[in-house]
Amino acid sequence: MSRGNTHQRIQDVALELFAERGYEKTSLREIAERLEVTKAALYYHFKTKEDILVSIVDDFNQPVVELIEWGREQPRTLETKKEILRRYSEALSRAQPLFRFIQENQASLRDLSLGERLKKRMFTLSALLVEEDADLVDRVRATTSLFTMHAAIVAMHDSGDAPEDRRQAALTVAYELITSAHHGD
């Protein structure tokens, strides 16, 4: 009815299934069946299975790339760092299924080149959270501040706490970590 519609639906269903069952174990047959089209139809819209995944990741990637660019232009104050964490936690919340997928399918992502790209991005982001000459402990603090959010938002998924509460709690802990790092503790 509206063009580009199927394209979008494929991405949605694919992500759903990739997150549910893993990338390798999700077959194009399953995606096609859930969409009630044929496998061949998928190939009209995407060149390969990998292509479907890449297109999904690329779409959700945008906000984080922008966040990194924004962060680069700011003075490296504690306020800036907090703002980065806050924005990252929001991106994480919004794109939860994708991040869950990424976290659980690192092995698959590895040789799809996507893996490296994502890792580098995380590394770049965490670099914005400490001084350039920071010692190892501070760098661990910075990395951990990002991991906290993954832990709280994605991994504590079925702890019984409300998503927004988990996000706030994660932010609190993340703030503490980069505050310590900021002083050089």
Partner DNA sequence: AATGAATGAGTATTCATTCAT
Partner DNA sequence: CATGAATGAATACTCATTCAT
Q: Which residues bind DNA (CB under 7 A)?
A: 2-4, 6, 26-30, 37-41, 43-45, 47-50
Cβ 71 to a second copy shortest distance, Å: 20
Taking the CA atoms of residue 118, residue 138, residue 100 and residue 119 in that order, the dihedral angle to the nearest 10 degrees is 10
User: Does residue 77 sit in helix, strand or coil?
Assistant: coil
Nearer to DNA, 113 or 168 (CB): 113
176 binds, options DNA, a second copy, none, Cβ within 5 to 8 A by partner type: a second copy
Q: Please report whether residue 32 would count as binding a second copy according to CB under 8 A.
A: no
Extract the tokens encoding 145. 């501040």
What per-residue string of b and e applies to 160-182 under the rule 16 or more CB within 10 Å gives b? Answer: eeeeeebbebbbeebbebbeebb
H or E stretch including 53?
Answer: helix 49-73
Q: Please report whether residue 166 would count as binding a second copy according to CB under 8 A.
A: yes
Nearer to DNA, 12 or 161 (CB): 12
Nearest Cα neighbor of 56 from 127, 105, 122, 3 is 105
Cβ(31)–Cβ(17) below 8 Å: yes
Q: What amino acid is encoded at 89 in this protein?
A: S
72 binds, options a second copy, DNA, none, Cβ within 5 to 8 A by partner type: none
61 binds, options DNA, a second copy, none, Cβ within 5 to 8 A by partner type: none
Q: Binding segment for a second copy among 50-58, 59-67, 80-88, 169-177 (CB under 8 A)?
A: 169-177
If you search the block for the tokens 């680069």, which residue do you land on? 72
Cβ 179 to DNA shortest distance, Å: 46
Nearer to DNA, 3 or 183 (CB): 3
Q: Please report whether residue 120 would count as binding a second copy according to CB under 8 A.
A: no
Nearer to a second copy, 20 or 66 (CB): 20
